[in-house]
Chain A
Amino acid sequence: MTKVLVWAEHDNATLKEATLHAVTAGAQLGAVTLLVAGAGVSGVVDAAKQVAGVEAVLVADDAAYGAALAENVAPLIVGLLGDFDAFVAPATSHGKNIAPRVAALLDVAQISDILTVEGPKTFTRPIYAGNAIATVESTDAKLVITARTTGFAKAEATGGSAAVSPANGAGDAGLSSFVSAEVAASERPELTSARIVVSGGRALKDEQTFADTIYPLADKLGAAVGASRAAVDAGYVPNDYQVGQTGKIVAPDVYIAVGISGAIQHLAGMKDSKTIIAINKDEDAPIFQIADLGLVADLYSAVPELVSKL
């Protein structure tokens, strides 16, 4: 049986949903062991051992792992991988930071951002901003993979009862340290796991207009707020709002694109949404070619009207 080590994404207090997607990807390859590396992670471990499909949980609880610094975490993972055939991390910013460092230390190629598992060593992954899907087969002895969370359903958070055991690594590599985090505080749901996303584009003119137009609609629907790269580049919203190939990849139940023309790079980040709704005054905008529901209208009248009628 193939043995798979899955890296758990967490903030030392709670297990992040991205982990549940990665567990599903890992389970398609073999028996999953979840690695919880962090500082003061007992709460995370309690959640990790209950995830359905997880056979074992390894815990490396050390201050050196608290900030998920790749310099410290990658050697820990490499040390553990002697007993495993594959390593899977969710393709989150932390996962993408750590996994290639693991792959290089093992002298294997990484398979980035997989969408599906096609065989024991064969996977599909998006290339050219999602304009093409490559099927690739690894020839390496061990697999190092990052899994696109929207490609794999969440594993059930409960139902499992994995055995927990400690894991040891070298701790602090002495190369890097965590200084500070500026976490965007928001009452709204997280963009990558929200059921509904309302996104705005360049047509929103400026920061204030974006806020006045998009936020009331998002709040009425209990939705997360996203944006096109054009809107981010123009400074309407911070970068972590960006949906697209170089931003966040989302696949909510309902994606509402407001004043977004639908550049390739944006579509790559949201085209797997269940239902796409587009509001744009240009009826030829490419977004309408993939929208399930389109409203050709001036957003400045349509969105407030929509908010008032919901």
Chain B
Amino acid sequence: MKILVPVKRVIDYNVRPRIKQDGSGVDLSNVKMSMNPFDEIAVEEAVRLKEKGVATEVIAVSVGPAKAADTLRTALAMGADKAILVQTDEAVEPLAVAKILKAIAAEEEPGLIVLGKQAIDDDSNQTGQMLAALWGRPQGTFASKVEVEGDAVLVTREVDGGLETVKLALPAVVTTDLRLNEPRFASLPNIMKARSKPMATKTPEDYGVDITPRLKVVKVAEPAGRAAGVKVESVDALVAKLKELGVA
């Protein structure tokens, strides 16, 4: 069984985003970029399934600029076997990404597609669900545990009230949540080895997908600020304040 792992190049999660003066978006020039953390978890899960003998091949895919090749190299260094870069300098919305991924799924026929539940830049939380819909397959979102059993996969999901387990017929789409695993660091030898692994470069047109955005970004602004309040000196003062608020 092949596993397809879509990954996204995003602003590093430790970097505080700066909003452009003209309000057109977030300034990404000279900013450290990394693999979306939820996608790292997805790569790790796919590689573990290969190590367990459940998967035969792990294919990493990224839709993005030429630099997204770096993100794919990271996936290859973590253990993916080959990579596909669908190159475009345009911003691609989740629906168009899902369409591209569906076209790749039709070619590669993976048994599982594992990806992050959301990207930490646009925070959409859509791509996996949309891909599953277009592909006509089931989805296990926000996964904290994934077990392949014959022609099905059991996915334990992080839901509002706790955990929920669903059984999905393969092929299926799984989106990862934080507790699924702890991604490995790529070792230097593996980083070197990744350089010689195959990476195909494609375009959205190759898959016949129109990536014209459906949403117009009117503006991007700072969130409303919240002023610092006062410091109290003692627990007694805090108790008094809580009583004032009517909660104690």
Contact = CB atoms under 8 A, between A and B. Distances in A.
- Answer whether A and B are interacting partners: yes
Interface of A: 67, 69-71, 74, 92-94, 96-105, 107-113, 122, 125-140, 173-184, 190, 192, 195-196, 220-221, 229, 232-233, 238-240, 245-246, 248, 253-254, 264-265, 271, 275-277, 279, 283, 288-297, 302, 305-306, 309-310
Given A109-B94, A177-B167, A192-B160, A133 B223 contact: yes
A132 B11 contact: no
Contact of A253 (B121, B165, B226, B247): B247
B17 A310 contact: no
Given A112-B123, A239-B179, A302-B235, A290 B141 contact: no
Contact of B129 (A67, A70, A279, A289): A70
A305 B166 CA distance: 45
B159 interface: yes
Contacts, number: 252
Contact of A180 (B133, B161, B164): B164
B149 to A, nearest CB: 11
B154 interface: yes
Closest 9 CB pairs of A and B: A292-B229, A100-B129, A109-B214, A104-B130, A104-B133, A175-B138, A100-B126, A184-B162, A176-B138
A233 B178 contact: yes
Nearest to A136: B215
B94 A110 contact: yes
A138 B215 contact: yes
B205 to A, nearest CB: 19
Nearest to B131: A104
B141 A96 contact: yes
Interface stretch (B44-52, B57-65, B80-88, B238-246): B238-246
Given A71-B139, A93-B142, A310 B248 contact: yes
Contacts of B241: 277, 293
A229 B37 CA distance: 14
Interface string B227-242: 0111110111111011
A309 B229 CA distance: 23
Given A104-B98, A238-B162, 8 more contacts: A104-B131, A109-B214, A109-B215, A128-B123, A240-B160, A246-B118, A291-B229, A309-B239
A103 B235 contact: no
A139 B123 contact: no
A95 B177 CA distance: 16
A131 B223 contact: yes
A100 B248 CA distance: 42
B151 interface: no
Given A93-B160, A103-B126, A104-B98, A254 B247 contact: yes
Contacts of B213: 109
Given A134-B219, A196-B247, A294-B231, A94 B123 contact: no
A168 to B, nearest CB: 20
A175 B168 contact: yes
Nearest to A273: B226
A222 B231 CA distance: 24
